[in-house]
Amino acid sequence: MPKVFGWEHFTYLFVVIFLMVLGFIWIQKHIKTEEQIAKTIKVIGLMLFLAIVWNRVSVAYLRDGFQSILPGTFCGATSLALSISAMLFKKDHIVFHCLGFIGLLGGLLTLVYPDYIGQSSSIFYPMTISGLVHHTVMVFLVLVMFQTEFLKPTLKKFYALPFGLCVYMTYGIFLISVLGYHDAMYIYEPILEGTPLNWIVLGLIYLPLHFIFLGAWGILSNRKLSILQRKSS
């Protein structure tokens, strides 16, 4: 049975990291214009949309039933919202300043520690492989947004994250109170059993870290710009 940090897990990570690196290199060489960048983001967004639909149909059919087909976790909801946003919205839209960072963090953490990987005897069990794939594509999409500057981190748009988290909580309450979900968005139960990591604690940890990250990004970007300006003068 597949295990976290088992050979199946490490093999999957090796393959997808290799493919991602190839993708970054290809994009760096061939995607130059704003139109090309926008089309690339839309294509990856479509891939993510297909991946999350595959995952939700698999989970609904094999376990939860189609009355629970809407995603009830941060990663699932982000994959769905980010994929649609990537196909519809323009460069540096405010929604990316929430969805992008939540998707990147959640996707990376889940790929490093996919606690669902042992739900069957094969990593290719539909619920398992589709979960791995949609987290992978989500991470790749956000990193490509950074690479092409489709998403530019800035402290000025820090407000997008706390506002977006309020939207996540409203969505979670809707799933619980209206659609009858047992829990959603870790409102009642923590992300890891036996820990205090529910939505309140996660938010209190993530918001200041995100603020520090954006501040550091801005400082480094300004230094890089000043160095380039000195070299060109």
Residue 100 falls inside a structural domain: yes
Positions of the chain with pLDDT lower than 50, given as ranges:
none
How many distinct structural domains can be found in the chain?
1
Q: What is the pLDDT of residue 220?
A: 86
Q: What is the pLDDT of residue 232?
A: 64
Q: What is the pLDDT of residue 189?
A: 86
Residue 21 falls inside a structural domain: yes
Residue 226 falls inside a structural domain: no
Residue 224 falls inside a structural domain: no
Residue 69 falls inside a structural domain: yes
Residue 106 falls inside a structural domain: yes
Q: What is the pLDDT of residue 228?
A: 60
- Cα angle value 198/202/207 (rounded, 5°): 155
Q: What is the pLDDT of residue 208?
A: 94
Burial of 199 (0-12, 13-18, 19+ CB in 10 A): buried
Calpha distance 160→81 (Å, rounded): 15
Q: What is the pLDDT of residue 46?
A: 98
Calpha distance 209→28 (Å, rounded): 29
Could you tell me the CA-to-CA distances from 40 to 65, 141, 226 in Å, in that order? 34, 9, 30
Residue 28 falls inside a structural domain: yes
State phi, psi for 165 to the nearest 5 degrees: -65, -35
Residue 129 falls inside a structural domain: yes
Q: What is the pLDDT of residue 55?
A: 97
Domain span at 107 = 7-187
